[in-house]
Amino acid sequence: MQLEFPFFGRVFTLSQRFVYPVLILWVFLFYGNTIKNTFALDDELVTCTDRQEHPLVSKGIRGIPAIFSTSYATNEEQNYEYRPVVLTTFAIENSLFGSSDAWVHISHFIQLLLYALLGIILFSTLNSLFGPSKHGIAFVITLLFLSLPIHSEVVNSLKNRDELLSMLFSLLALRSALRFVDSRKWKSLLFTLLYLLLALLSKKTAMPMLVIIPIALVFFRSFSWKSVAYISASLLGARIIFGLLKKGLIETDKIREFSIVENPAFEYSFIQRIPLFFDSVIWYVKQSILPLDLQCYYGLGSFSVTPAFTLGTLIIATTLLITLGFILWSVAKKTHTELSFGLVFFFLAIVGACNLIFPMVGIVGERLAFTASLGLCITIVFLLNQFSTIKGKIAPLLFIAFSMYSLSMVFLRNGSWSDRLSLYESDSSTTKSAKVHALLGQELQYQINQSWNDVQSENQEAIYSQVIRAKQAYENALHVYPDYNKITSNLAAIESSFLCDERASLALLNELTKKQPDYQEAWENRLVSQVKTYIVWKRNEGFLTDKSLKNPSIYAFDSLSSSSVLGLLSQFEERGKLFLAEGLNPTSIAQLSAYAAGQATWNKTLAELNPSYAKQVNQRLMELYTGKKASYNIVDDFRKNAVGHFVAPDRFATISDSLIDEIIATKVMIEQKFPESKLEELTDTYLLNALRYEAIIAIHKHQIKTGKGKAKDFVQIGNSYVNLGEKEKAIRSFNRAISSLRKMNNQAANEEIARIESYIQKINNQ
């Protein structure tokens, strides 16, 4: 068989034996550079990534039986859909290729093979559908489909293998249905059922094929109620088996929490979603044919959502009605059959993703147009084929121009999908999507947490650059969606853990706990931030109350405005121990200086030091290293220079007490709201590491005063008094602990009593 292609008055031919190699090469031309990619958005839901192992996929082939009885992904917040075929492919990969580090590039290679196989099956199916006279057109449609830039998400994202498999099996079901009608072989009817079942078990986006396949028979075969009935029964059988499998095998129902940040239409009524339906249809048409930008996630901020009917909505609605009228007319007149079928295919495949029946997660999505875009390809090719001038001269140039455009778009997009950070950075630069900016902030925060203590391998100034970028990303997300509670909590953690601005952190957390009183993480972060504020405050007591630095005009200020810079200096002091683990040397000095430069990028006080903060750190450390100065704490010099407000000693004590009161009040609220929380131990750990024994005593005394005291509270008080050198108070506390334990009258209590008595004896002998 020869495929014929007109080009400027000449007809070029391609032998069928070269068709499949050309399709494979075409796919690798567009997507070959994806093989070097790693993991990206949501891959951990379906496979074992560098950060998380899927519990069933990690078992390999042994995990397949369990895969068919569970949701394809489950986490603390939700269970996802039932897609066992997708997980099965990854489980087989795991058994064959091992760990995720070596596996990821093989997974991307397999993704390309599946896309190429899809192209081959598509060409074969279109040949069966349109007949032997249109092999050339089927080939062009296939090439056009494979080159659409909107498919880059499905090909690049391992998670979206479900779309690939669902469409592949759907096309096989269509081809088998056509073969049954043409040959009346009953095995083809059985294969139709089997393929559609596999498509549904890959993803429910195959559901429209229940209608599309019978319509295809009506459009392209001699009408027979019996044939349509047989095929419809086969398709319905696949749907019923899918439902029974899911109901009979799956252990937990689908649980999914929906948020406005994903789609504001979750709060709209059906009538209010009608304008969004029309907007969504046009978006899918535009993005499928000629996308100007592509995003990994749309959602709030990236797509205009309104329940109001506008002039634009009416124009779109009118256009769609005219299109529907054309389809009905062509069916009645039995003309432009392929063109009409392409339109029907597109609308049936995309209607469920257009926010009318139910709102979509993300409002719109490139992956949701994957199957439907085939209908547009069919429509475009047959539309151009209607005109002889376009067909012979303009269409080839259009195809070449579009292929070059698509190739450049796809190449760039493949690079964006190379890893998580590249993807989020690329997309956040072109969208206001709250979700995309939140994802960028979370990825940066994850990388910061991973490298924070790895002082040997990280450029410390670069870490602070990442901190600032994460902060900005979170702020961008909150600008679009102020009620993004998780991101507010994350931003507070950035302010506290890395930038040491506890005032900013507490302002965020105080507001968050007011808006969402049952948000446990926010309450716990609030307590930690309060504890850290107190620690920094007390650690710098000598500088904040030093009369030798007294400035009469500002001495009376009761301000914590210096807490950020003092926190950064304390952070420098603590982390400096990591850098100096192998001693003071030129390498550790260079690393500490780079770290100081990173801190100065954030804090105005440190940034304005002259000479620069980093230069002064380097100079002082070199003086110590070369022996020009005796050993001393260089941070003390900066504390003296950086403190802008000083407090009278009595006022300092008052503020200290108020900070402890705030800690106690928050701790009480957490105990009331979340009895299972372990924040008491965490609070003690923070204070013990900071040698803040007076705070430990105050907190546990409050516990006893309110009637909640236990033996461990007396023990903590006793230990703290020991560290403060107050033996008599320590012994009294230990004796009260013993009295409390004796009331329990059990073996564990008796063993604890023996340990405390032994410790009291040691104290008395000192």
DSSP for 415-457 reads HHTTSHHHHHHHHHTT---HHHHHHHHHHHHHHHHHHTT-TTT
Is 517 part of a structural domain of the chain? no
Looking at the structure, do residues 42 and 12 belong to the same domain, yes or no?
yes
- List the single range of 428-442, 447-461, 598-612 with lowest mean pLDDT: 447-461
Give the tens place of pLDDT for each residue, 30-56.
Answer: 999 999 999 999 898 888 888 888 888
Instruction: Examine the domain organization and report whether 197 and 285 are in the same domain.
Output: no
Question: Considering the entire predicted model, what is its pTM?
Answer: 0.87
397 inside domain: no
How far does CA 107 lie from the centroid of its chain?
20
Q: Do 602 and 727 sit in the same domain of this protein? A: no
How many CB atoms are closer than 10 A to CB 546?
A: 14
* 550-554-558 Cα angle (round to 5): 105
Contact predicate 497/534, CB 8 Å: no
Q: Is residue 393 part of a domain?
A: no
Nearest CA to 620 out of 630, 635, 634 is that of 634
Per the domain annotation, does 492 fall within a domain?
A: no
What are the residues whose beta carbons fall under 8 Å from the beta carbon of 646, sequence distance 6 or more? 544, 545, 546, 549, 550, 551, 554, 555, 557
Residue 86's pLDDT is: 94
% of the chain surpassing 90 pLDDT: 39
Residue 733 lies in a domain: yes
Residue type, 642: A
Of residues 444 and 18, more confidently modeled: 444
Domain co-membership, 121 together with 15: yes
pLDDT at 165: 97
Same domain, 73 and 159: yes
Q: Are residues 184 and 230 in the same domain?
A: yes
Residue 673 lies in a domain: no
Residue 254 vs residues 78, 79, 82, 83: alpha-carbon distances, Å: 7, 5, 8, 12
Domain boundary among 226, 249, 272: 249
Residues 238 and 372 in one domain: no
Residues 675-699, mean pLDDT to the nearest whole number: 79
For residue 112, tell me if it sits in a domain.
yes
183, 459, 601, 711 from 465: Cα distances, Å:
67, 10, 8, 47
Q: Are residues 39 and 98 in the same domain?
A: yes
Q: Mean pLDDT throughout 454-483?
A: 85
The answer to whether residues 66 and 90 belong to one domain is yes
- Res 476 pLDDT > 50: yes
Do 79 and 218 sit in the same domain of this protein? yes
Q: Is residue 145 part of a domain?
A: yes
Between residues 60 and 78, which one has the greater pLDDT?
60
Print the domain residue range for 304: 264-386
Each residue's pLDDT tens digit, 223-261? 788 888 999 999 999 999 998 888 766 555 555 667 888
The better pLDDT of the pair 547, 218 is held by 218
pLDDT tier, 398 (very low <50, low <70, confident <90, very high otherwise): confident
Q: How far is CA 231 from the centre of its chain?
A: 41
Shared domain for 240 and 270, answered yes or no, is no
Total tally of structural domains belonging to the chain = 4
Domain identity same for 161 and 222: yes
Q: Last residue of some domain: 362, 386, 410?
A: 386
Domain boundary among 336, 369, 386: 386
